[in-house]
Amino acid sequence: MAVLLGVLVAASFGSGDFLGGQASKRSPTLTVLLVAQGTAVAGAVIVTLLVGARVAPHDIGFGALAGCVNIVGIGLLYQGLAVGPMGVVAPLTAVVASILPIGWGLATGERPSVVVVIGAVLATAAAALISRQPDASDGDAPPARTGVALAVGAGACLGASLVLYLQTESESGLWPVLAARIAALVLVALALVVVAARGVSMPFPRDDDRTLALGAGLLDVTATTLLLLAVRRGLILVVAPLAALAPAATVVLARFVLGEHLHRVQRVGLAVALVGLVMVAAG
């Protein structure tokens, strides 16, 4: 069950990242996040009330903290997808995001098989290949470098948010998800207030971008809900790498919808990363 949930998490996260990244190409990332998180809160209210729970204050606290860290990661990811190649930013974010939960699992006593260890090493090594830049003469080099930096930051935040979700109890149901989405929405709103106070214009997304943001929000709360259920039913060393397969959906959409192309070394890195992540899941 944990493996199936992990695959669904990857598909939801990857598709949501694509939609959010597309919307952020034309509209400010903060306003895209406002629409997406508002939608996610509405979805979280529904799923939370449908599941019985016995929630404690620390479950709400860790859920809210996870939401704050998560929204920073999503914001960095959306911006990275907007300014850099999706086929580079999404996989690198996923690899970095999987390292922290794997490290946490090892530190808390999980003992993976040799196959899992080899897969984790491959996934980590692939990060260097995926983040390899075009030649300096290539006009796309500066955006690619920026995208890589944003991807690393996004991955660190997203990985940390999963570790924080793990601190909640199974009896709390999906209340941590609701707390996370509310905290994320509040944080985005506060950021918009600060930006507005500085006189920076933040136009609301137009119709097309608003639709993309709504879709991203629905997929975000779906993925977060499934992720929490998955880590409560299986080892984090299995779930985290499976969730990190999200770039597969992003890259496929970017390839067929946008016609993006990867450099040869980056294609090799992506292949190695996916092999490594699948090995971790299989092990």
Please report the sign of the dihedral spanned by the C-alpha atoms of residue 68, residue 224, residue 162, residue 154. negative
Rounded to whole angstroms, how far apart are CA atoms 82 and 22? 7
Rounded to whole angstroms, how far apart are CA atoms 138 and 155? 26
pLDDT by residue (tens digit) across 112-169? 778 877 877 787 677 667 655 555 444 455 566 788 889 899 999 988 998 998 899 8
Q: What's the pLDDT score for residue 130?
A: 65
Structure tokens at 211: 């639709």
Rounded to whole angstroms, how far apart are CA atoms 118 and 241? 13
Residue 95: is its pLDDT beyond 50?
yes
φ, ψ of residue 199 in degrees (nearest 5): 80, 15
E strand residue ranges, the chain: none
pTM for the structure as a whole: 0.79
pLDDT by residue (tens digit) across 9-50? 888 988 988 898 889 888 998 999 999 999 999 999 998 988
- Measured CA angle at 60 (ends 212, 232), to 5 deg: 80
CB of 164 within 8 A of CB of 62? Answer: yes
CA-wise closest residue to 120 among 95, 138, 145: 95
Q: What's the pLDDT score for residue 42?
A: 94
Rounded to whole angstroms, how far apart are CA atoms 198 and 39? 27
Mean pLDDT of the chain: 83
CA-wise closest residue to 175 among 70, 39, 41, 60: 60
Instruction: Report the amino acid identity of residue 4.
Output: L
Residue 198: is its pLDDT beyond 60?
yes
